[in-house]
Amino acid sequence: MPYHEILVIGGGLAGLRAALAANQRNARVGILSKVHPLRSHSVAAQGGINASLGNHPRGGHDNWEKHAYDTVKGSDFLADQDAVIMMTRAAASCVYEMEHWGCPFSRTEEGKISQRPFGGAGFPRTCYAADTTGHALLNTVYEQTIRFKQAAERKDLVIYPEWLVLSLVIEDDRCKGVVAMEMKSGRLEVFGAGAVIIATGGSGRIYANTTNALINTGMGMAVPYWAGVALKDMEFEQFHPTTILGKNILVTEGARGEGGYLLNNKGERFLANYPDSEKAMEMAPRDIVARNITREILDGRGFDAGGSSGGYVQLDVRHLGREKILARLHGIRNICLEFSGVDPITDPIPVQPGHHYTMGGLECNTGCETSIRGLYAAGEVACVSVHGANRLGGNSLLDTLVFGKIAGGKAAEYVQGQRLTGKPGKAHDDALKRVQQKVDGLLSREDGKDTAAAIKTEMADVMTAKVGVFREKRRLTEAFETIKGLRERFRNVSPAHNGRRWNLSLQMVLELEGSLDVAEAVVAGALAREESRGSHFRNDFPRRDDDNWLKHTLAFHSKDGAKFQYSEVRLGTFEPEERRY
Ligand SMILES: Cc1cc2nc3c(=O)[nH]c(=O)nc-3n(C[C@H](O)[C@H](O)[C@H](O)COP(=O)(O)OP(=O)(O)OC[C@H]3O[C@@H](n4cnc5c(N)ncnc54)[C@H](O)[C@@H]3O)c2cc1C
């Protein structure tokens, strides 16, 4: 049995940062990732990472307290304030660490790290590397991972790329490993570990209109959910205001941060007409801008693309000029040229809100500990909770690095206090057998009428149509019934072929089970929460209701679907107030 003191599941920013932190504390680490680490969704992050460096003249007075306040207000007061304070206090040192490791941040004229404005701050706080910040950061952290891997004074760090984790090994209420499938051979293997860190990213692909990579299925959330860890605040899904019409590829908030305007079909900067965005305009938080764009479209002041692409508004960056667009937004320009045939230097970009980020996730404390001992979570898969009901742009990259590091450190501490044998126990054999039976069962199933692809498409379509920016009881109930029906139909689905090597259709079936359970938790949570807060807007309950709903949703897995409990929000520093920008 392959054995590592610490197993990290996921090779994105959170996973690699966790692995590094654990390895620096002399733990032997294994990283399992279903794609090569550099293909993780982190690589696609565009606009930047927040830290109150105060490098921009307009942000010279910035400090971590202001960053904390903006984050809590942005979260519509659902974030846990101690967690937010931990993150914003650590932000500057986290960004400087990346700088010292060689991250090629964009620079001011004096050579400091450049900052641009992002929503919810009011001045420039977001550090960036042009519009490819995730690429720069992920490569930086990956280089460090490889460096330590090769450094003689460090203990082992082994990367297993293209291994899909399917189950946890739990013994005596402690997590002691995972069962995973090597994609190229289809071989199942049980891995032993003193501790496991889940860093499997978001679950955006439960929606059809998402900016997320195809790999973000939510399977990594489902595996610990099945083992008893609660999913927290799953009804809060972020819809990004500006994704490319019909394709839903992201156009970074940095485009507005650099000065881009949003225009309706009358050529008006319509955000001025809404009380919640009249001052901050394009720099209001994402939940507010996405809603006001959707209102314009629904009220007939958008543009109509016809067909299935839906309505849209325009994002105009032409006035920034060719030079600035090429220097700061070259990635966006290329995406626009390639996917919408528009050159932002000469034409406005057609944009519409699209699904972007999973605010909820595996419940854990500020030490990234879940309810199962020895099991940690960090990054988008986790809900610490620093984003509450709405994440500010630029705070997720920060979350991955700050809490990735904490998870690695905590897990290393935990294994140092254990007597580890590295030998498989009965729980390992049992877990492997269970997964083997499941996979063998799937591969020997008779071909049914249904395909995994059809079920996946129906799930993603209903989530987009009925669990989007505006929600209401009737449509949520319909979505709930649809997902329930799909979970039934899933029982008869078989992979398109029964080989073992690189069987992507087997992978799709295995992951679809996770996606469906995650989607069910989202819809059921949204149906239960009878108020409007952050990204969760109920037409039938349009007000925030702090008396009854200033609380976290906890979904627990059961065979008949999610069962709910609620927990307190940790307030303490900032009192809930009305959100206007
Ligand atoms: C297009 C786009 C742009 C963005 N821009 C920004 C930005 O500018 N600023 C910002 O703050 N945030 C941004 N975000 C959000 C941010 O990039 C992500 O939240 C963050 O990078 C997630 O990092 P992660 O390490 O948690 O997960 P990921 O980077 O998604 O990595 C997940 C890892 O888990 C592995 N994995 C998943 N499931 C399994 C499994 N079952 N078995 C084995 N391995 C598994 C995958 O292989 C992968 O390595 C953006 C997001 C998108 C989609």
- In this prediction, residue 150 carries a pLDDT of 62
Q: How far apart are CA 12 and CA 178, in angstroms?
A: 18
Atom of ligand 1 nearest to the CA of 166: 41
Nearest CA to ligand 1 atom 24: 201
Q: How far apart are CA 101 and CA 532, in angstroms?
A: 42
- 375-377 vs 49-50, strand pairing mode: unpaired
The domains of the chain are located at: 237-356
CB-CB neighbours of 158 under 10 Å: 14
573 backbone φψ class: left, alpha, beta (φ>0; ψ -120 to 50): alpha
Segment 353-363, tens digit of pLDDT:
999 999 999 99
419 part of the active site:
no
Distance from residue 12's CA to the centre of ligand 1 (Å): 6
Q: How far apart are CA 386 and CA 160, in angstroms?
A: 30
Nearest CA to ligand 1 atom 20: 42
Cα 54 to Cα 57, 67, 113, 136, 532, distances in angstroms: 7, 11, 10, 21, 34
Distance from residue 43's CA to the centre of ligand 1 (Å): 8
Query: Angle of helix 395-416 relative to helix 13-24, nearest 10 degrees?
Result: 30
Distance from residue 371's CA to the centre of ligand 1 (Å): 23
> Looking at domain 237-356, which CATH architecture does it have?
Alpha-Beta Complex (3.90)
Q: How far apart are CA 121 and CA 124, in angstroms?
A: 7
Segment 385-418, tens digit of pLDDT:
999 999 999 999 999 999 999 999 999 999 998 8
Atom of ligand 1 nearest to the CA of 50: 11
Q: Point out which residues pair with 350 in neighbouring strands.
A: 314
Ligand 1 contacts (CB < 6 A) are 9-15, 32-35, 37, 40-42, 44-49, 133-134, 164-165, 199-202, 211-212, 215-216, 219-220, 250, 357, 379-381, 393-397, 400
In the predicted model, residues of the chain with pLDDT beneath 50 are none
Helical H runs in 228-319? 254-257, 286-298
Atom of ligand 1 nearest to the CA of 15: 25
Mutate to test the pocket of ligand 1, among 200, 205, 250, 351 (most ligand atoms within 8 A of CB): 200
- In this prediction, residue 303 carries a pLDDT of 96
Q: What is the radius of gyration, based on Cα positions, of the chain? A: 23
**Given CA atoms 117, 334, 338, 342 in this order, what sign does their dihedral have?**
positive
Helical H runs in 341-423? 395-416
Distance from residue 270's CA to the centre of ligand 1 (Å): 32
Mutate to test the pocket of ligand 1, among 226, 240, 397 (most ligand atoms within 8 A of CB): 397
Nearest CA to ligand 1 atom 5: 45
Q: Point out which residues pair with 375 in neighbouring strands.
A: 196
Distance from residue 128's CA to the centre of ligand 1 (Å): 17
Q: Which residue has the tokens 């199942």?
A: 188
Q: What are 524's two structure tokens?
A: 């059921």
Q: What are 169's two structure tokens?
A: 């090994």
Q: How far apart are CA 174 and CA 380, in angstroms?
A: 23
- In this prediction, residue 449 carries a pLDDT of 78
- In this prediction, residue 151 carries a pLDDT of 63
Catalytic residue among 25, 125, 240, 286: 240
For the chain, the first-to-last Cα distance in angstroms comes to 56
Nearest CA to ligand 1 atom 50: 45
Q: Point out which residues pair with 182 in neighbouring strands.
A: 163
- In this prediction, residue 458 carries a pLDDT of 98
Distance from residue 135's CA to the centre of ligand 1 (Å): 11
256 part of the active site:
yes
- In this prediction, residue 256 carries a pLDDT of 97
CB-CB neighbours of 86 under 10 Å: 19
Q: Point out which residues pair with 175 in neighbouring strands.
A: 170
Q: Which residue has the tokens 């050159």?
A: 343
Atom of ligand 1 nearest to the CA of 217: 38
The predicted model scores a pTM of 0.98
Segment 456-510, tens digit of pLDDT:
999 999 999 999 999 999 999 999 999 999 999 999 999 999 999 999 999 999 9
- In this prediction, residue 214 carries a pLDDT of 97
